[in-house]
Each structure stands twice: as structure tokens, then as C-alpha cells.
Amino acid sequence: SDPNLVERARAAKAALGDRVFILGHHYQRDEVIEFADVTGDSFKLARDAAARPEAEYIVFCGVHFMAESADILTTDAQQVVLPDLAAGCSMADMATAEQVAECWDVLTDAGIADVTVPVSYMNSSADIKAFTGKHGGTICTSSNAKRALEWAFEQGQKVLFLPDQHLGRNTAVREMGFSLDDCVLYNPHKPNGGLTAEQLRDAKMILWRGHCSVHGRFSLDSVNDVRERIPGVTVLVHPECKHEVVAAADMVGSTEYIIKALDAAEPGSKWAIGTELNLVRRLAKAHPDKEIVFLDRAVCFCSTMNRIDLPHLVWALESLVEGRVPNVITVDPETEKYAKAALDRMLALP
Ligand code: 13P
Ligand code: SF4
């Protein structure tokens, strides 16, 4: 990357010292990760966000829902900065507060709302997290979805899983012994979610019809193709992938799990990784003794994660040095109260 920008980022970060704490998700570009004080998956970053109460500014190199969670989990005095406000998440956008309220009415009409516990993936807006908290549910991430579901089934008989159908289905079927028939898909664009009251009453898992467009591009063909190209390859995918991809893979886990699996892998071993490309490339570079390839032949970055680049980071840091706080992410107190209840339940999971 531009040596001048690297120098400016370094200088601005040094000038701010302990006043700034920079968090970086594993899908961020290398040029940004280089300046992160901590890196992590979304669970680790949610925990780490609160680790430096003395830092005035949290610069979140990730996407909007992560910055919102950081604002919820940090003190009122701390300000969370997202270097590019356009860094959203298409999956999080697939569940709006109005749609979810309407869904709850549908469950109420079917007579099942009082036995249904909402479990929302971290990849959701603060409004959805607040809905979850208000209705006695919890947040989960890809690294604790099983524990979150186990907890939820201790509280009630059914789970409304928002907004990623794949993480919900994969966890229920792969890790908890549910069948595909125990799951129904709630489509927010259809009246009553496209489901009858009977289907809702029979279901154990009510999955919201959301998905990640990045992980959605991996297919069964990608898996078969790479197994043909690289005999002996271990296929390791993120649980946001479709069920058929996860079922055909050898190992499944969050970004943090993927990193640890490759750290522990034997030299000479061969791996095809089904997750975002910045991370896969970084892992391939970090492990020259192993053959690590991207699961698909086509490249696929998360375009919104990629919006945070070095120019945006430099701009954010230099603005702070000059005394301006740009792109502050704030969650209103009422939303924060309920969203925090749901996040706290996740953080307290065994
Ligand atoms: P994790 O950080 O939980 O692995 O999730 C990946 C992701 O899609 C974040 O947007
Ligand atoms: Fe959202 Fe998928 Fe990008 Fe994660 S990888 S931020 S879920 S679009």
C-alpha cells in the first residue's frame, strides 16, 4: 500500500496513543489489519470492545452492526467510529424492525409466540437485537450458536432464528440433531411469512429468510471441483454457507475456528477454505508450508468489509488528531437497553 498513507496512519495512531483503540475483523484488508490493536471474529471483537474503558475512541474496522454492538457494550463516554459509513452488511439489512414485529404478530396469531424464543445472529441491526432482548432471547455468533440454541430450548419450545437461515439450519441440523423438517423458512416478503399456522406450530426452528451474499456463492460444485483438483484436500467452511456445502465439507467453523485449525494443521497438508477472501489470502501467506486455497474459482471479497481501506482509516485517525470525531455510531438509549440485555445473555452463555 501507499508508503505515504502507511506513514500517516502510523503518525496519527502514535499521536493519539491510548486515546484510541482500533478493532479489526478478520475480513478486513491487510493494509487495515496492520493497524488494529486487536483482531478477531465478531464474538471476540464484541468482548474486546469493552476491554479498554480508558480509550476515548473505538475505531471499528468492520461493518455497521459490529460498530453498533461496540457502542452498546462500551461506556457512554466512549465514542465508536466507523471509518466508512457505507460499510453495512446485506444480511443484516434483510431483517428490518417492522418486518420482525410483523413476524411476531404472525407467531402470536398462530398461538406460539409465548413458547418461542428469538435468537439473533450478531449480524443484525441494533433494532433487531433490541427486539430479541425485549422478548427474552439472546444474540449468538458463529462461534457460539450451538450454546445459544441449547440455552433457548431450555427457555421455550421453539426458536425464531434471525436473520441468517444458514447458520440457524446448519447449527440445528449438524450440531443439535434436528431434522431439516423441524425447520421452516419465514419469508418476510410474503403474507404470514409464506407459512400456514399449522406449519408454524409443527416447526422447532423458524428460520428467517436471510443469507450472506459472500458465503452464499459457494456451492456443492465448488466443493466437488476442489476435491477433484486437489486430492486429499480438507474442506473447511464457515457456517454461513448453504446447508449442502456444509454437509459436504470436512470441517465447519467461525473465522476464529478456521484460523486455529490452520495453526494446528500439519505441514504439507492441503486446505480449501470457504470464507471471505481477505482472510483466506492472509492465511495462505501466513502458512507457506501448507497448501491453502480459496474454495471457489471465482474471487469473492465482502464488498462492504472492503470499504474500510487505508485512506478511510487515515482520514478517521487524522480527524481525531485534529479534534473532530467523524462517523460516530450511536444507538439510542431505549434500543441500547434491550439490545444490551440480549448481548449480555450471549456473553453469559456457558
Ligand atoms: P464471524 O466473525 O463470527 O466468523 O462471522 C463472519 C461474518 O460474516 C462477519 O460478518
Ligand atoms: Fe455481512 Fe456476509 Fe459481509 Fe459478513 S461477509 S459482513 S455476513 S455480507
Report the percent of the chain where pLDDT is more than 70.
100
Q: How many CB atoms lie within 10 A of CB 45?
A: 27
Query: What is the Cα–Cα distance from 39 to 30, expressed in whole angstroms?
Result: 11
What is the Å distance from ligand 1's center to 212 Cα? 10
Residue 46 · residue 141 · CB < 8 Å: yes
Q: Cβ neighbours of residue 279 under 8 Å, at least 6 residues apart?
A: 26, 27, 255, 258, 259, 273
Write down all domains in the chain, each with its CATH number in brackets.
Answer: 3-89+305-331 (3.40.50.10800), 92-211 (3.40.50.10800), 215-294 (3.40.50.10800)
pLDDT tens figures, 72-129 = 999 999 999 999 999 999 999 999 999 999 999 999 999 999 999 999 999 999 999 9
Residue 235: beta bridge partners?
272
What is the Å distance from ligand 1's center to 104 Cα? 26
pLDDT tens figures, 34-68 = 999 999 999 899 889 999 999 999 999 999 999 99
What is the Å distance from ligand 2's center to 321 Cα? 30
pLDDT tens figures, 190-219 = 999 999 999 999 999 999 999 999 999 999
Report the nearest-CA residue for atom 2 of ligand 1: 41
Rounded mean pLDDT of 338-342? 98
Q: How many CB atoms lie within 10 A of CB 329?
A: 21
pLDDT tens figures, 296-313 = 998 889 999 999 999 999
Report the nearest-CA residue for atom 3 of ligand 2: 302
pLDDT tens figures, 278-292 = 999 999 999 999 999
- In ligand 2, the atom with minimum distance to the C-alpha of 240 is 7
What is the Å distance from ligand 1's center to 42 Cα? 6
Rounded mean pLDDT of 132-141? 98
- In ligand 2, the atom with minimum distance to the C-alpha of 65 is 6
Helix, coil or strand: residue 194: helix
Q: Which residues are annotated as a binding site for [4Fe-4S] cluster?
A: 89, 212, 302
DSSP string over 157-173: SEEEEESBHHHHHHIII
Q: How many CB atoms lie within 10 A of CB 4?
A: 9
ipTM over 0.85: yes
Residue 299: the pLDDT is 85
- How does the average pLDDT of the chain come out, rounded? 97
Residue 311: the pLDDT is 98
Q: Which ligand is nearest to the CA of 25?
A: 1
pTM: 0.96
- In ligand 2, the atom with minimum distance to the C-alpha of 90 is 8
Q: Which residues are annotated as a binding site for iminosuccinate?
A: 25, 42, 121-123, 142, 238-240, 255
Mutate which of 63, 94, 170 for ligand 2? The one with the most ligand atoms within 8 Å of its CB, which is: 63
Report the nearest-CA residue for atom 1 of ligand 2: 89
Cell numbers standing for residue 45: 471483537
Residue 300: the pLDDT is 84
- In ligand 2, the atom with minimum distance to the C-alpha of 91 is 1
pLDDT tens figures, 253-272 = 999 999 999 999 999 999 99
Beta strands in the chain (DSSP E): 20-25, 38-40, 57-61, 79-81, 116-121, 138-140, 158-162, 183-186, 205-208, 234-237, 251-252, 270-274, 291-294
Rounded mean pLDDT of 13-27? 98
Residue 194: the pLDDT is 98
Query: What is the Cα–Cα distance from 28 to 306, expressed in whole angstroms?
Result: 6
Q: Which ligand is nearest to the CA of 237?
A: 1
Query: What is the Cα–Cα distance from 106 to 311, expressed in whole angstroms?
Result: 46
Is the pLDDT confidence value at 1 over 80?
Answer: no
What is the Å distance from ligand 2's center to 89 Cα? 5
Residue 2: the pLDDT is 86
Phi (first) and psi of residue 282, to 5 degrees? -65, -40
